Amino acid sequence: MSPTSLSQEHPLGSTVVTAPPTTPAVEVSGLLKRYGSTVAVNGLDLRMDRGSVLALLGPNGAGKTTTVELCEGFKRPDSGTVRVLGLDPVRDGAELRARIGVMPQGGGAYPGVRTEEMLRLVAACAADPLDPAWLLETLGLAAARRTPYKRLSGGQQQRLSLACALVGRPELVFLDEPTAGLDPQARHLVWDLVRALRADGVGVLLTTHLMDEAETLADQVVIVDHGRVVASGSPQELTSSGSAEQQLRFRARPGMDTKLLVDALPENLEVDEVGPGSYVVAGCIDPQVVSTVTAWCAQQGVLAEELRVARRSLEDVFLELTGRELRS
Amino acid sequence: MSTFSPGAFAPAPGRGRLSRMLLAQARIETALALRNGEQVLLTLLIPLALLIGLTVLKIVPLSEPRVNEVTPRILALAVMSSAFTGQAIALGFDRRYGVLKRLAATAIPRWLLGAGRVLAALTIVAIQVVILGVVAALLGWQPAVTGVLWAIALVLLGTISFGALGVLLGGALRAEIVLAVANIVWFVLLLAGGIALPPSALPGGLGAIVELLPSGALAEGLHTVLTQGGPPGWQPVLVLIIWAAAAGGIATRTTRLT
């Protein structure tokens, strides 16, 4: 459908003003949101390109959901600006909501509504929706299409919620913890969907606390904690910068004296037993280092198992930045 | 490896037709109310049982023909049951299950979300009035012809008034509390709010107070127009308008999506 025909069909007769495609999908600056004395979002900045996938990664209570809800226009910022597709989500909410798809955390439907009824209701809100029957089939909900919402499993409710976010053919979707409570098969299905959306030019902003999810899906990962951005960049950039560039990991007998190994290795390398029998050599790992380590193991009469060289994972970066203590 | 053909999700956003959204929402909410056993018990079975019981069994002293006295009060009960108690409970649990947020995230304008609920409530009331009216007619009910249009206007006004109160209650509190309060209020208003017994039958100065309640005003108004014909007088109309405006005004500030 061309933009012209869209504006002609607009029920109020007003013209749909499309912001120039050069404006970012999402642009947030200095965003601040308080709940009473708690600061949920504390001066957050964000920029997401059109048609890209951005993962907001952070521990529980980091401010991910609040940030997303500020972008969707559900909440009003205390200060700072939010622009989504060039629009103000509060002031231009009606116009914006016709262009985006939203998957709220924990889903949402009438308790007694049947799966297919709910999806058809949401489809009725869109000018040119996807075929609800096809979408239910795709998301593995065809067998549950007459099941009342409150009798669906958590994973089925999640998938219906995802279907509701996609059915209006949006140009940008917000997925708040799209894979929470899903089994591995369903999680991979969601990942395939996100990749298909990106390939079709749909922007995806998702929140997650799963590192592998952010690493495998996102063009840009934004790590938030205490309502602030603590790091952002492509997964590649995030994992290749920082103190420990590479690691050599192996398993062997616990409690080995690593002093001899440290002496045998170049000076800028560190050796650590991070768990019983789990050793990490961190620094610039070259073939000579690997050879030195295996030679030392041979000397000690032990077999080094699961020996591998790895870049540090996004999880390492994440824990480094957000700390290891448990969050409520 | 993606299993989706390229272009399956190619963006084509836009808002659907307002009339289509309104009908889709109102149809689902009507169907859900008619499918819910407890709602049907409250909105149809109890009013039907009371209509037949109070007409046939001479427990409460009433002037003959009894059905002419009973029917206007049962119509008031039906409106209170669906527009207030039913609406409040449904809204309380809809909020619990996140449907308001879900719908507010679509292209449905906020005002239309409210309009859809009103249309569903009016549809339920229309179904109640038709069923109760037919059963009452079978019991020999003969409404005053000159009062029928007034009765329809009062039922509309009562639906809006009780509906605003239902939204006020269901939109502000936790679902379980809404369930309890909505049922208690229903029971109290049925017995002492001018529905089962006319305000004049209540002891002391209670009758005058009860006529200022939406239940008393609607029951008395319907009783007047359907037994005597003609307009209901200004008091019941004014009472219903004031309750509607007050409850609606507060509800717009206190209703939460979740």
Q: How far apart are alpha carbons B20 and B116 in whole angstroms?
A: 11
Query: Picking from A88-102, A301-315, B74-88, which range would have the lowest pLDDT averaged per residue?
Result: A301-315
Lowest mean pLDDT among A13-27, B150-164, B238-252: A13-27
Q: Count of H helices and E strands in chain A?
A: 12, 13
- Does the pLDDT of residue A9 top 70, yes or no? no
**In chain A, whose CA is at the least distance from the CA of B30?**
A113
Pair of tokens at residue B64 = 């003959």
Q: Are residues A249 and A185 in the same domain?
A: no
Residues A119 and A215 placed together within one structural domain of the fold: yes
Determine contact: B230 vs chain A, CB below 8 A.
no
Average pLDDT of the residues in B153-157: 97
pLDDT in the model for residue B1: 41
Q: Is residue A166 part of a domain?
A: yes
pLDDT over 90, % of chain A: 54
Distance from CA of B161 to the nearest CA of A (A): 24
Residue A75 belongs to what domain range?
24-234
Q: Span A296-308, mean pLDDT?
A: 86
Q: What is the largest CA-CA distance in chain B?
A: 80
Q: Is A306 found in the same domain as A190?
A: no
Q: Is A273 within 8 Å of A251 (Cβ atoms)?
A: no
Q: What percent of chain B has pLDDT over 90?
A: 83
Residues A206, A264 within the same domain: no
Question: What residues have CB less than 8 Å from A92, skipping those under 6 apart?
Answer: none
Chain A to chain B, count of Cβ pairs less than 8 Å apart? 147
Interval A198-235: pLDDT, tens: 999 999 999 998 888 988 999 999 999 889 998 888 88
Looking at the structure of chain A, the number of domains it has is: 2
CB proximity under 8 Å: B 96-155 to A = 96-109
Q: Quick one: A262 and A162 in the same domain?
A: no
Judged by CB atoms closer than 8 Å, whether chains meet at B99 and A97 is answered as: no
CATH number for the domain harbouring residue A272: 3.30.70
What's the whole-number average pLDDT of chain A? 86
**Structural domain includes residue A319:** no
Contact check, Cβ <8 Å, B105/A104: yes
pLDDT at A328: 52
% of chain A with per-residue pLDDT over 70:
90
DSSP summary character for residue A87? B
Task: Among A16, A150, A200, select the one facing B10 at the smallest CB separation.
Answer: A200
Tell me, yes or no, whether A271 and A225 share the same domain. no
Q: Indicate the range of A28-32, A204-208, B58-62, B158-162 predicted with least confidence.
A: B58-62
For the ranges A287-296, B70-79, B195-204, the one whose mean pLDDT is highest: B70-79
- pTM score: 0.83
Q: What is the CATH number of the domain that holds A218?
A: 3.40.50.300
If one counts every other C-beta atom within 10 angstroms of the C-beta of residue A257, the result is 8
Residue A101 DSSP SS3: strand
Contacts of B104 in chain A (CB under 8 A): 74
The residues near A277 (Cβ < 8 Å, ≥ 6 apart) are: A251, A252, A253, A254
Is 90 exceeded by the pLDDT of residue B10? yes
**Rounded CA separation A286/B202 (Å):** 96
Q: What is the pLDDT of residue B165?
A: 96
Nearest to B106 among A10, A97, A109 (CB): A97
Q: Are residues A88 and A227 in the same domain?
A: yes
- Which of B2, B16, B101 has its CB closest to that of A196? B2
Using CA coordinates, name the residue in chain A closest to B89: A111
Residues in chain A, total: 328
A96 in a domain, yes or no?
yes
- Out of A180, A200, A234, a domain closes at A234
Residues A224 and A276 grouped into a single domain: no
Does A328 fall in a domain? no
Q: Do A130 and B97 touch (CB under 8 A)?
A: no
Query: Pick from A200, A234, A268: which residue ends a domain?
Result: A234
Shortest distance between the Cα of A238 and any Cα of chain B, in A, equals 25
Q: In this structure, is residue A87 part of a structural domain?
A: yes
**Would you list the domain boundaries of chain B?**
18-254
Which residues is A248 bridged to in the sheet?
A281, A309
Residue of A102, A138, A149 lying closest to B97 (CB–CB): A149
Q: A134 vs A116, A152, B160, CA distance in Å?
A: 11, 19, 40
Q: Indicate if the pLDDT at residue A325 is higher than 70.
A: no
CB contact under 8 A, B105 and A72: yes
Report pLDDT for B205: 83
Q: Are residues A187 and A281 in the same domain?
A: no
User: Which candidate from A74, A127, A138 shows the least CB-CB separation from B16?
Assistant: A127
Query: Does A249 score more than 80 pLDDT?
Result: yes
pLDDT reported for residue A244: 45
Asked whether residue A261 is domain-assigned, the answer is: yes
Nearest C-alpha of chain A: how many angstroms from B11? 5
The answer, yes or no, to whether residue A314 has pLDDT greater than 80, is no
The predicted pLDDT at position B258 comes to 81
| Contact check, Cβ <8 Å, B102/A72 | no
Please tell me the predicted confidence (pLDDT) of residue B133: 97
Instruction: Tell me: do A139 and A195 sit in the same domain.
Output: yes
pLDDT at residue A1 above 60?
no
∠ CA A36-A39-A40, rounded to 5°: 110
User: pLDDT by residue (tens digit) across A148-203?
Assistant: 999 999 999 999 999 999 999 999 999 999 998 889 999 999 999 999 999 999 99
Q: Would you state the pLDDT for residue A2? A: 41
